[in-house]
A and B are shown apart, each in its own frame.
Chain A
């Protein structure tokens, strides 16, 4: 999945997150959650799985329970708590919010795994070229700055300057190092700018190069995304997927949007699984 063109990926992520966050339909939300879980399982390391379950499952219940405790809307009271009714509708709605929230969180997690900074910069660079160069320079500068700060503070420590454990000494030592780092940064940027000038920065007609291409694979994926998304959005606009919880939970009607969105949110899993199977097959042939 991560080898597709960043624009296609960005479009896909935005579509999934927006639909699952703003449609109030449980089928759409549950399929987004399922897709998110499966995608996450592939993208994250297996050593993190236990930690993730330990975080997201309690999170789910906390969100689900919070709603019925504070919202007393709904027509079917189950029991009374401190004189307030706790309703079935609020319970179900709480569950739906939790499904939506966890789904969105998982998709965001996948987003951060797949959309690395260089992909983000590429999308940025295509739209605002100057800014993308500035960002790229900043990303180069930050680790260098950190390393130099460490070197300076160690050198200062080895001279025994303000290295005692008292709070005032600590603050003073940080302030001193920071001041030195300001002059260091200025000095450094002068050299960087000569190096840029020497390589012709500032000439007219600068182009923007990126490693990413838009190939046939990207076109196919984009077509699939557009078709599935079209069917889903059609269902949402025509009201086929309209669903409400208050005052009473409405009933679900069948819609083609459910099938389309089901496939849509499972797309990354299908792609990854297909590749994994293919890989196995090739390995077995070797």
Chain B
């Protein structure tokens, strides 16, 4: 049964020349799982907001939206609030109250449901989502994953018929994000809930979807079953976001069914190719050491357990070094210690051969070391990107006449020329990341520390970031990255290391590192490891297949 119909929907923001949503027509049946994807700024969020009456943006709208056959404009307010659920991106800002139980009850309170019934419904929902153990906690004490689960539960408690989610997992780590996706799948399977999900990371959700909507510049490029995606044979940057199996299939041009999951991809490769032994490439690195940790111990407070327990690492000059590891393992702490934000209570931290405490005042952060935190928003202070860039040059005491020159050079390099006059908070996640990178690069660092640089970025921005970072590497900058993104590490790193139990365990080139791990490895390697052991990226698998 059709639950939602969008007919020829076009939408212009005030004073905008181009439509944000351009003539979209689609129909969603009850119980379907729809995945929406597309580049940042392609109009996904606008389309989703238009579907939810309360959140419709201001602007010029034509076309119509029907919910259960009723035109949206005629929809009863109570029905609209309870039957169309909407979950947003940021886990923090969409939480309203201070207590978990109050958050769950909030929607029902608004609908005017009596207390006894609220009590029952909240209890029902909390048990279903496994919230009972933190039911009486403060919302501020929850982890990101728990917060987002709470946001989902507090929408679900109103018993919606459609659930719309706008990049709900983009701020979560991979484990929390796959838990969240599993919950969505459960809701869809067990309750027959209709789900419309916007997602960047398609690796997992792609195979779950009944239909995929691919958007580009406000238009629907593709709206069909996921296995038919191979029919669009364009060189679109969007295709970089597809699951590894689909990308390998697309690049190979073999007549067969399109594989969607790792299992199907593995079958597909093994059907068409033969295994071959390989020699591991030799790793050549510079002999100078940029950053060295020698038996470093750290804890946040005297009574708390140690986070770093005798961590040692060596990063050579000009190297791209990736630290991988589970959540809360202390990877970020290790980075904080290298950046001088946290001080180790035992052990040595050497930057360019000198102990970190010998760098007095700001000397560590001038022409030497720069740190990009996980949330790029925290880097901005001024009300325009240009203001922020100028500020750091002022602090570096660069004469006025050279400033303009420096700013345009860095803007050129990071591709932010068109963003200079904007307010940093008006930018998308990817744009913020680029501008933040530009700001910290102005201090002309030799060592760059990045904390989760790909979090929340779509495939196109990841590509852009990759290009910027490889430019920096060519200039001889040492890059140390903490990341959860195995694909990103495999494609970019010179060496990868696993952080576990307060220590850095093994540092090796990605080919060796990933091929020796059985779980902690890329999707491409999981598919191809039976054939070509050392193929860890999609590109390498495709290359091997073509040689074969």
Contacts and interface: CB of A to CB of B under 8 A. Distances in A.
Interface in B50-97: 52, 54-55, 77-78, 81-82, 85-86, 88, 90, 92-97
Nearest to B54: A197
Given A161-B391, A200-B81, A203-B110, A195 B94 contact: yes
B371 interface: yes
Nearest to A162: B395
Contacts of A48: none
Contact of B98 (A139, A161, A179, A207): A139
B518 interface: no
Interface stretch (A53-61, A62-70, A148-156): A148-156
Contacts of B96: 136-137, 140, 192, 195-196, 199
Interface stretch (A93-101, A182-190, A278-286): A182-190
Given A155-B379, A207-B115, A199 B97 contact: no
Contacts of A140: 95-98, 138-140
B102 A209 contact: yes
A164 interface: yes
Interface string A170-209: 0000001101100110011101101111111111111111
Given A154-B341, A207-B115, A194 B443 contact: no
Contacts of B378: 148, 151-152, 154-156
Nearest to B102: A136
A161 B94 CA distance: 32
A136 B110 contact: no
Interface in B290-323: none
Interface residues of B, number: 69
Contacts of B439: 159
* Residue picked from A147, A156, A162, A203, most chain B C-beta under 10 Å: A203
Contacts of B93: 188-189, 191-192, 195
A207 to B, nearest CB: 5
Contacts of A211: 101, 136
A30 B78 CA distance: 58
A204 B112 contact: yes
B267 interface: no
A207 B114 contact: yes
B380 interface: yes
Interface in B330-369: 339-341, 361-362, 364-366
A161 B366 CA distance: 10
Contacts of A162: 395
A23 interface: no
A200 B440 CA distance: 42
B82 A200 contact: yes
A101 B297 CA distance: 49
A256 interface: no
B19 to A, nearest CB: 22
Contacts of A151: 373, 375, 378
A189 B90 CA distance: 12
B255 to A, nearest CB: 47
B119 interface: yes
Given A159-B392, A160-B362, A180-B380, A197 B55 contact: yes
Interface in A125-152: 133, 136-137, 139-140, 143-144, 147-148, 151-152
B109 interface: yes
B118 A207 contact: yes
Nearest to A117: B98
Contact of A158 (B94, B341, B377): B341
A208 B370 CA distance: 50
Contacts of B423: 183
B94 A191 contact: yes
A199 B373 contact: no
Contacts of A205: 112
B443 A200 contact: no
B497 interface: no
Nearest to A146: B140
A158 B373 contact: yes
Contacts of B155: 198-199
A118 B99 contact: yes
Contact of B366 (A147, A152, A160): A160
Contacts of B118: 207, 209
B111 interface: yes
Given A158-B373, A194-B55, A197-B54, A209 B88 contact: no
A137 B122 CA distance: 19
B504 interface: no
Contacts of A189: 93
Given A191-B94, A200-B110, A144 B140 contact: yes
A183 B82 contact: no
Contacts of B26: none
B232 interface: no
A147 B141 CA distance: 11
B464 interface: no
A157 B365 CA distance: 9
A155 B373 contact: yes
Given A194-B54, A195-B151, A209-B115, 14 more contacts: A133-B97, A136-B96, A140-B95, A140-B140, A155-B371, A159-B439, A161-B395, A189-B93, A191-B94, A198-B155, A199-B96, A200-B107, A209-B109, A211-B136
29 contacts: A140-B140, A143-B138, A147-B140, A151-B378, A152-B378, A154-B373, A158-B370, A159-B370, A159-B392, A160-B443, A183-B383, A192-B95, A194-B94, A195-B88, A195-B96, A198-B155, A199-B155, A200-B78, A200-B82, A202-B110, A203-B81, A203-B111, A207-B112, A207-B113, A207-B115, A208-B115, A209-B115, A209-B119, A209-B122
- Top 6 nearest A-B pairs (CB, nearest first) are A160-B365, A200-B81, A205-B112, A195-B94, A160-B362, A143-B140
Interface of B: 52, 54-55, 77-78, 81-82, 85-86, 88, 90, 92-99, 101-102, 105-115, 118-119, 122, 136, 138-140, 151, 154-155, 158, 339-341, 361-362, 364-366, 370-371, 373, 375, 377-381, 383, 391-392, 395, 423, 425, 439-440, 443
